[in-house]
Amino acid sequence: MVTAVYPGSFDPITNGHLDIVTRACALFDKLIVGIYDRPDKQMLFSVEERVALARESMADFHNVHVKSYSGLTVDFIHKEGGRAMIRGLRMNSDFEAEFEIAAMNKKLAPDIELVCLMASSEYQCLSSKLIKEVASLGGSLKGLVPEHVAVALNNRLARVKLEASTQRASRRNKISQQ
């Protein structure tokens, strides 16, 4: 049985991610979607929330397991018995970044093969960052993320806006009282 791991931050999971998952499932006996708990970027969702959103998105996949991890990705892959790392490539800039990471991972774990899957044409320009921007500006997420992810994203962004508004009002009150 060959196990592959598809690592990422998935903040949030998109239909582009699910496209890669669907295609990787057909290639491997077992696919583990590894959700990195502390990426070096600003997260909108906690690792627990990202895992829950991914699990719901992949509930119909019989050979997919969603797990969170910390530390080196290659260590996680070894721990899970993986032999391959799956990465999705959207455009040329993805290739350059993935090539650099792949070279380091090959040094750290020469037994793990990198398998890059090209994004389907409808997802070539789709990223979690753009999804968050579209949602924050009130744009439609139809066809870009699963419905439950769109709901969670819109709810989170509404809460963030409310918190920011409350903080601004609190600062104005403090200033006016001085």
Q: What amino acid positions are annotated as catalytic residues?
A: 17, 41, 90, 128
Both tokens assigned to 146 = 């699963």
One-letter amino acid at 70 equals: S
Query: Exposed/middle/buried for 66, CB within 10 Å: 0-12, 13-18, 19+?
Result: buried
3-state secondary structure of 153: helix
Task: Tell me the C-alpha distance between 159 and 153, whole Å.
Answer: 10
Contact in structure between 7 and 54 (CB atoms under 8 Å): no
Both tokens assigned to 106 = 């090959």
Task: Tell me the C-alpha distance between 90 and 93, whole Å.
Answer: 8
Continuous segment of H or E residues that includes residue 132: helix 128-136
> Given the structure tokens 């924050």, which residue do they identify?
136
